[in-house]
Every structure is written in structure tokens, then in C-alpha cells.
A and B are shown apart, each in its own frame.
Chain A
Amino acid sequence: MTAETIIQSLASGLLMGLLYGLIAVGLALIFGLMDVVNFAHGEFLMIAMYVTFFLFAFFAIDPLLSAPLVAAALFVFGAVVYLLIVRFAVRAKANAGMVQIFSTFGLAIVMRGLAQYFFTPDYRSVTNSWLGGKTVSVAGIFLPVPQLVGALLAIAAFGALYLFINRTDFGRALEATREDAGAVALVGIDKNKVFALGWGLGAALVGLSGAVMAIFFYIYPDVGASFALIAYVTVALGGFGSVFGAFAGGILVGLVEATTALILPPSLKSVGIYAVYLLVVFIRPRGLFGSM
């Protein structure tokens, strides 16, 4: 194993990690806002990938251009899911935690079933997109262009999200609602509206990452499951509710995954991620940047 291989795989790990962060941040945002874990998060990603695929297949819109459209579609979808399901789940008087887990989990199963029904279980892929299959060489290190663009997009999205939360009225309303959902009603903020917009925003971020993922990953009804667990681990590693934590958690997960793949057989690469999660929470039970 040469130094070059190590640098090469750490670099691709870093890019993948930033993408993991982008996939996970919607989850962190929603949890921070209302303490709900969306167990259909992977299926949101799956839908985003299919939307990207169909825009490409039917209208020849390249994923790079359709990303904002996919994000917009997912925004609407996220808000609708809140209004139709989650709004009622958080009102449950008994076993609130269980109801949230299983209602969103039931949604995940329904979404997978619908995808199988309408899109068939076949594997799809976006072929011949502008970025697909291309690599660039930076100082002797080869980087895949889709992942590189995805990573840059992730950094931009995190920057925009930071400004959005801290500098806009809606961002402040979001912060205020997460602080005290009861008190905001006194200053005229409609809690339900903020929650619906929060779900929309969280889903839109998944939409963005889905558009990028569709460039270099196969698309099939169960695709979300493989990324969902990584997303939960990413969010928990960073600390539930911390948007910055999801960013840092994503980078850590990407680097650990790349390192594990160097040491252990490829089929065991996820063991490294899981082991690091356990190690971190055993030492810090609230993740790296979470508040209890």
C-alpha cells in the first residue's frame, strides 16, 4: 500500500463523506425542529433519484440542470408528508416515540411498494449525462467528477443553509419554533406552517443529493435502504439536531469508510462506520455536537 493509494482513497472518501452529509442534513434539520426521526428518509432519496431519472429519460434534462427541479418536487412532497401523516403522529397521546417511528416506517414500506408497482424493480441508470463517468486529475490524484460536483454542491448547500437559518425571517421562525413550539404561537407564528416548511426544506435537501447520486448510482426501489442507515449514523454521530454535526458526521463517515476499505475486505467496509459510531456514543452519549 503506497502513500499514493492512501491519499487517493482518503480523497474519494472525503468527497463521498460530503455527499453523505448532504443526504443526512435533512434528517438533522427535521429532528432539530421537532424531535422526529423520519424513518422514510432513504425512500425520500429513492424518489429523488427516480424523479431525476425520469426527467432525464423523458425530457433529456441533465441531472445537473434538473437538481433544482428535483429539490422543488421533493419540497412539495416533504410538506405533504408532514400535513398528511406526521402532523397526526406527533399528536399521539400514547407511545409518541413509537408512533413516529412506525408511521414513518410504514410510509417507507408503502413508498417502496409504489415504486415497485409503477417503476418495476428493474435497475435503472442515467447514462451519458454530462458528468457521468468523467474524472479529473488534481496533483496526481484522480477524482470522479460527479462526486466532486456533489461535494462542492454539499458545501454550497451547507453554506446557504447556515445563512438561511441565521439571516432570514423564516430561518429565525424555524429557530424560535425549535426552541419553544408553544410560545411562538404568542408572537403569531403558525407552528404547523413552520413544521410543514421545515419538512419541505429537509426533503428538498435530500432532493438535491438524490439528483447527484442518480448520476453515478443505480436506481431501484430499495436503493434508499442502503443509504438510510448511513444517514441515521451520520446524524447521530454529529449529534441529533445539529445541522453542523451532520456536516462533520458526513465527512467522518466518508473518511472512516475509505480507511476501512483499505484495511478490511470490501464487504466489511460498513463495519468501520458502525464501530466508530459505537465508539463515539459510548464516550459521548449525545454525539459530537449534539445537545442533550
Chain B
Amino acid sequence: MDTSFAGRRRRDLVVAFCLAAIAAVVPLFVKDVYVQNIMVLTLMYGALSQSWNILSGYCGQISLGHALYFGIGAYTTALLFTKFGVLPWFGMLGGGIISAIIAMALGYPCFRLRGHYFVIATIVIAEIGLLLFHNWDWAGAALGIDIPVRGDSWLKFQFTRSKLPYFYFALALACVAWFVTWWLEDSKWGYWWRAVKDNPDAAESLGVVVFNSKMGAAAVSAFLVAVGGSFYAQFVSYIDPESVMGFQFSLLMALPAVLGGIGTLWGPLLGAIILIPLTELTRSFIGGSGRGVDLIVYGGLIIAISLARPQGLVGLFSPKRKEVAR
């Protein structure tokens, strides 16, 4: 087995291709709408977490405010479509670009901050965004926006009869986010980011432009998350500030990467595959009582995994791969 870095990267690409191909045929056999819904959400959170991982995992700038970009993506698409009749595809691109610009504009002052000061700044900025959208009458304020149904079509990216198109888009998004990470991992940016994460002062002294590499990571990360938000708006067809910009989204983007393995290529997807079905299943099977058992199970799992596997679950697969493969 080729154990060199280049060999590992080739193998990752092949594995990813096989997994994507397998995932693509699964919904042809699993017709249950509830299960399909969970699969769409799993892929979406996998993609979001993968994007979050670029800034927070590889570059080490822990953001708990990515809900802002998710919300901006969702709102840009929904507003352009309902107010001006602009197709969601352009809204998606526009939301991504706006988010990337905002991420850099916010990064300009924020990237001077370190540690907890930075984390709290990201939380606070997303909260300000949430409160502003709550009070912005033109954008529906607290009531939100109902996206009118104009019939099933890829052009308008609306499907009422089947969840399959959403599934394939979410799969594509997850593949793109994974591929971007795979590609950046071995680019000069990837090396800069890891240097910035490990020791920003040493990186600076060796000629890495720390500030610019943080800005680059923020822009890529925000763009992809906004595309996810835009997809989510089409998927649920109704958005309000809490449901697309609430703090829980910032967490749901971070958790899969943390559980799977932060700053790793496979961590976010692995984390999402475990966490999202678990979240949905506990919610519908034991959360229905409204008595919080789902929260106890969910929180307990987070404590257990973060204490038992600080490096993430992905480590379970790689070091002993040979024995397992045989």
C-alpha cells in the first residue's frame, strides 16, 4: 500500500468518488420520505461543517457565528426571488459573494483578536445580524419570508412532489465542499493555514502573510456556507430570522467537525453522518414527549466524545486501517 502523502491523497480521491457514487444510488432504494429528509440534512450539515472546517479547523480561527453567512445566503435568495423574481441560482451565487465580502470586511478588524476574544466577537456579530433581521420590515422582520411555490422545476429550484432533486443538490454541495478542502489541503494556502493555526508568530516570521491567509480562509468558508443557506431556504420554502440565523446553526456547523475530527479532511462528513441522524431520531422518537430526554442523550454524547476522543472520531479509522482492511 502506498503510504506517501501523494498516495494518500490519490486514495482519498478514489474513496470519495466511490462513496459519492454509492450515496447517489441509495435514495433509489430508500423511498421513505422521512429517511430521505434525514439524508438531505446530513449531507447539508456535512457540507456546512466542511466549509466551517476551512476557517476554524485548518486555519484555527474558531467561529461560532457562521449562522450569519448561512442566514445571508438564505435571505439573499429568498428576497431576490420574492421581491424581484430573480432565479434562486443567481440568488445563490449572489448570497455567496455577499457573504464572502462581509466575511472579509468583518475579518479585517476581527482577525487581530485572539482566543476567546475572537470566539465571542463571532457570536456577538451573528447576534447583531439576527437582531437586525428581526427588525428589518422590508425583509419580513420576525414573520420571515414565505417562498411562493411556482411549480416543480430545476430552473426555479423548487420541488414539491419529490425530495430527490434536493438530495442530489445536497450531495453535489457536499462533494464540492469536500473537493475544495481536498484541493486546498495541498495548495500553498493549506500549508499557510496550518502554520497560522500552529503558531501565528512563527508563521509570520517565516514569511507567511498571516492576515491575508486568514482572510482567504474566511472568504472561501463564508461563500460555501451561504450557498448551503440558500439551498436550505429553497428546501424548507419558509424562512425567518431564528430559523436561519439562530445560534443553533453556528453550533450545528461546528459540532460535526469537532466530533469527527477538527482540521481533518474526513472529520466533518463522518461527524455529520453520526450526529445528524442521531439528532433527528432522538428528536422524533424520544423528543416528542417534550421532556428533554433528547437533549440529555445529545449533550451526554457531546461530553463523552469530546473527552474520550479529543482528536475526533476520524482517528479511529486511519491508524489501524491496515488491520481493518484485511
Contacts and interface: CB of A to CB of B under 8 A. Distances in A.
A138 interface: no
Given A95-B311, A96-B310, A106-B303, A278 B124 contact: yes
A107 interface: yes
B116 interface: yes
B46 to A, nearest CB: 18
A113 to B, nearest CB: 3
A117 to B, nearest CB: 5
A286 B296 contact: no
A274 B120 CA distance: 10
Nearest to B64: A101
B123 interface: yes
A275 B128 contact: yes
A231 to B, nearest CB: 11
B303 A113 contact: no
A98 B299 contact: no
A145 interface: no
Interface stretch (A7-15, A53-61, A66-74, A85-93): A85-93
A26 interface: no
B120 A94 contact: no
A133 interface: no
A123 interface: no
Interface in B226-258: 251, 255, 258
B259 to A, nearest CB: 8
A155 interface: no
A89 B117 contact: no
A289 B29 CA distance: 61
Q: Which of B132, B294, B299, B300 has the most CB of A within 10 A?
A: B299
A99 B310 contact: yes
A89 B262 contact: no
B202 interface: no
B32 to A, nearest CB: 28
B62 interface: yes
B135 interface: yes
A110 B310 contact: no
A95 B120 CA distance: 18
Contact of B307 (A85, A109, A121): A85
A101 B303 CA distance: 10
Interface string B274-317: 00000000000000001111111111111110110011100000
A114 B131 CA distance: 29
Interface size classification for chain B: 35 or more
A112 B290 CA distance: 12
Main SS class of interface, B: helix
A95 B310 CA distance: 6
B306 A108 contact: no
B278 to A, nearest CB: 13
A114 B298 CA distance: 12
B299 A113 contact: yes
Contacts of A215: none
A229 interface: yes
Interface string A106-129: 111111111111001100000000
Contact of B117 (A92, A106, A236): A236
Given A113-B295, A274-B124, A267 B135 contact: yes
B103 to A, nearest CB: 15
Contact of B120 (A98, A108, A232): A232
Contact of A265 (B124, B125, B135, B311): B135
A88 B310 CA distance: 11
A102 B131 contact: no
Contacts of B120: 232-233, 236, 277
A280 to B, nearest CB: 10
B14 interface: no
Contacts of B312: 95
A99 B302 contact: no
Contacts of B303: 85, 102-103, 106-107, 110
A105 interface: yes
Most central of A96, A275, A278 by chain B CB within 10 Å: A278
Contacts of A274: 124-125, 127-128
B121 interface: yes
A258 interface: no
A97 interface: yes
Contacts of A112: 292, 295, 299
Contacts of B293: 113, 117
Contact of A281 (B113, B127, B135): B113
Most chain-A Cβ atoms within 10 A of its Cβ — which of B121, B251, B304? B121
B28 to A, nearest CB: 36
B85 interface: no
A229 B292 contact: no
B114 interface: yes
B299 A108 contact: yes
Contacts of A115: 292
A281 to B, nearest CB: 5
B306 A99 contact: yes
B125 to A, nearest CB: 7
B319 interface: no
B295 A109 contact: yes
Interface in A191-243: 221, 229, 232-233, 236, 240
A116 B291 contact: yes
Given A102-B306, A229-B123, A116 B290 contact: yes
A246 to B, nearest CB: 14
Contact of A278 (B62, B121, B295, B299): B121
B292 A277 contact: no
A109 B299 contact: yes
Interface in B119-178: 119-121, 123-125, 127-128, 131-132, 134-135
